Structure 1
Amino acid sequence: MSEQTPDDERPPIAAAVITQDGGVLLVRRRVKEGSLSWQFPAGEVESGESPESAAAREANEETGITVSNGKLLGERVHPNTGRTMIYVAFDSAEGEASVVDDDELDSLAWVKHSELTTYVPYPFFGPVQAHLDEVLSNN
């Protein structure tokens, strides 16, 4: 099976693209997923769960923050992992972000637009990049 073909037996991954105070929240996994190290809080969509709810739940489970009113940015088969990814934007968070799930994560950062390539040295999915360019462009 090609890396470009989604694995239909596995649920999609919902990623929370959380922006606040001029930064986007990135987390660093203890174990890299493909070439990924820094990424958005994310996890599998559970049965009966919407992508927006899954992204909000994962953000809370991984970092302790609460987000709501997510906006779907788009979906794709990730070129590095082969998993179907659904990206959901949130423009504010309640609570102080910290590494809550220290089995999965070892760090997190609120990253300014000018610092994005330091954390993620390859292009983001087009709709995600356009969203970050728009929301973080003045920072």
Structure 2
Amino acid sequence: MSQPTPDNPQPPIAAAVIVDGGKLLLVRRRVKEGSLSWQFPAGEVESSETARAAAVREAFEETGLTVTDVKVLGERVHPATGRTMIYVACDIVSGDAYVKDDEELVELTWTQRGQLTEYVPYPFFEPVQQYVDESLTP
């Protein structure tokens, strides 16, 4: 897992990539991060946790879903934000998604493959895009 470094003192961000019933969960934040509007439930990895644990925690804090981490899909420095991102595929254990953290989120949506470009007009990070392509129904 990435830790803050002198070059990048900010902690990494863990993103929960959640697919259920052939749809992908996206959230829209109150404050845009660069050109980003719709994105995955995500937040900073705390010093006492792994990226996988942070993705699980953030999914619950933001959407009320209890999820389990399945695998790390990949890691990169996000080109729009400059933050180290760690993408974690997660499966739902229980709950129904809703805007739990209404100070941070405006809304959420479950989107199908054919609707993705309405929310995110560019491809995801390659390993994430591959996972999404394999997981979403046409």
TM-score bracket for this pair, using the shorter chain length: over 0.9
Question: In structure 2, what is the Cα distance between the partners aligned to 1:90 and 1:111?
Answer: 16
Secondary structure, counterpart of 1:26 in structure 2: strand
Per-residue Cα deviation, 1:10-48 (whole angstroms, up to 9, x for no partner): 100000000000101000001100100000000000012
Per-residue Cα deviation, 1:45-95 (whole angstroms, up to 9, x for no partner): 001211110000000000000001331000000000000000000133410
- Report if aligned partners of 2:41, 2:58 keep a CA contact under 8 Å in 1: yes
- Report if aligned partners of 1:14, 1:51 keep a CA contact under 8 Å in 2: yes
Question: What RMSD over aligned residues (CA atoms) do the two structures have, in Å?
Answer: 1.3
TM-fit CA distance, 1:122: 1.1
- Report if aligned partners of 1:20, 1:93 keep a CA contact under 8 Å in 2: no
TM-fit CA distance, 1:97: 0.5
Name the one with the larger strand percent: 2
| Consecutive unaligned residues in structure 1, runs of 5 or more | 1-5
Question: In structure 2, what is the Cα distance between the partners aligned to 1:131 and 1:7?
Answer: 30
- In structure 2, what is the equivalent of residue 3 of structure 1? none
TM-score (norm 2): 0.92
- In structure 2, what is the equivalent of residue 38 of structure 1? 38
| Consecutive unaligned residues in structure 2, runs of 5 or more | 1-5
**Count of aligned residue pairs for this structure pair:** 133
Question: In structure 2, what is the Cα distance between the partners aligned to 1:63 and 1:71?
Answer: 20
Secondary structure, counterpart of 2:94 in structure 1: coil
Instruction: Quote the sequence identity (%).
Output: 66
TM-fit CA distance, 1:110: 0.5
TM-fit CA distance, 1:7: 5.3
Q: Which runs of 4+ in 1 moved over 4 A?
A: none
- Report if aligned partners of 1:7, 1:83 keep a CA contact under 8 Å in 2: no
Secondary structure, counterpart of 2:68 in structure 1: coil
TM-score (norm 1): 0.92
